Amino acid sequence: MTTAPAAARSALPEPPAVPSFAVIPGVQVRKALDGREKEIVEVVEATYQLHGSGESVNPPSSFLRFTDRPSSRIIALPASIGGTAQVDGVKWISSFPPNVASGIPRASAVLILNDHLTGYPFACLESSIISATRTAASAASAADRLSRGRPRPTRVGFFGAGLIARYIHTFLEGTGWSFDEIGVHDLSAESAAGFRLYLEQSGAAGQITVHDSPEELIRCSDLVVFATVAPQPHVSDVSWFDHHPVVLHVSLRDLAPEILLASTNIVDDIEHCLRAATSTQLTEQLTGSREFLHGTLDDVMADRVSVPADRTAVFSPFGLGVLDLAVGKYVYDEVNRSGDLRVVDSFFHELRRYG
């Protein structure tokens, strides 16, 4: 067998280095994100633009469901983004509503980041915070973009008073919103009271009102945030929206098709939002058409789609894995820059092809 000359061998490219593997716990994730709402909204908007220009891969989410626990599920969101982030990965997030009765959060999650060149995973991050953060940043961006061209909302109503509602309020305030009135409605009086306490302790300006009925909350709000765990539509009266509010339909299954058909509908991704028994999918099944969908948030940001002020504007974000990757990579870079990255030595045992 002949051997390549030494000069030829030296010209061969160096094999890619296998990255070290780090674990980033929730306390570090929170520290990296705390108080940086404006930066994270910019990260999320830039990721929407990358996704809109085709510089991402975002397959359908995979749902693991259980015959003995029908209300619970675990979801895998694989994705890949280009741009400056250059990262692949997957979020693995569970939603177990019965947890709430036991006094622990409904959702838990991890995010795995994979090296763009070698495919090796290089970080595992606690991701319930990342998931809530990217959801809230997306909602804050939509609230801003969909409100342009109409009087800026001064009355916000939160339908559902859990973790996501709290994060959305934090991001609204952190990106410059101020409200004269804040409304709260939740089927659980305890959750509504807890959210009110959070608002009071956060120093939120404006009058805080816990509303007994959904209709009262919606009619009293210019900006309505749906953040529930509703499995199917439960709001169907179009007249409740006669004042044409901006609606952040974050939980995706609250609004009956009648509401969507009377509104301007903006989503994060048209194909993704028409899945998993969302209100948008039910509307498509009812009408046999997608014409009720007017475009994506990226379309609105790029002025390809306008949002008229004389119609209710509804944002229904399915939640894209690329957003989790972008925010997760932001966290990783911040922790790495701080010098506090917790590397697991020898995580990959076999790094030579032939042993």
Give the helix ranges, DSSP H, for 148-289: 163-174, 189-201, 214-219, 257-261, 270-273, 279-287
8 Å CB contact between 103 and 79: no
Alpha-carbon span 252 to 346, nearest angstrom: 43
Q: What are the structure tokens assigned to 161, written together?
A: 């008073």
Given a cut of 80, whether residue 6 has pLDDT beyond it is no
Domain range summary for the chain, segments of one domain joined by +: 20-130+321-344, 139-316
| Per-residue model confidence (pLDDT) at position 83 | 85
Residues 238-295: tens digit of each pLDDT: 999 999 999 999 999 999 999 999 999 999 999 999 998 999 999 999 999 999 999 9
Q: Do domains 20-130+321-344 and 139-316 have the same CATH topology?
A: no
The dotted CATH code for 139-316 is 3.40.50.720
Alpha-carbon span 226 to 185, nearest angstrom: 10
DSSP string, 106-146: SEEEEEEEEETTT--EEEEEE-HHHHHHHHHHHHHHHHHHH
Residues 151-192: tens digit of each pLDDT: 999 999 999 999 999 999 999 999 999 999 999 999 999 999
Strands 21-24 and 343-344: antiparallel
Given a cut of 60, whether residue 3 has pLDDT beyond it is no
Instruction: Tell me the fold of 20-130+321-344.
Output: ornithine cyclodeaminase, domain 1 (3.30.1780)
Residues 317-350: tens digit of each pLDDT: 999 999 999 999 999 999 999 999 999 999 998 8
Query: Band of the pLDDT at 2, cuts 50, 70, 90?
Result: very low
Q: Which residue has the higher pLDDT, 105 or 265?
A: 265
- Residue 210 burial by Cβ neighbours in a 10 Å radius (0-12, 13-18, 19+): middle
Query: Band of the pLDDT at 103, cuts 50, 70, 90?
Result: confident
Residues 61-99: tens digit of each pLDDT: 999 999 999 999 999 999 999 988 899 999 999 999 899
Alpha-carbon span 49 to 301, nearest angstrom: 9
8 Å CB contact between 267 and 20: no
| Per-residue model confidence (pLDDT) at position 354 | 72
Given a cut of 60, whether residue 100 has pLDDT beyond it is yes
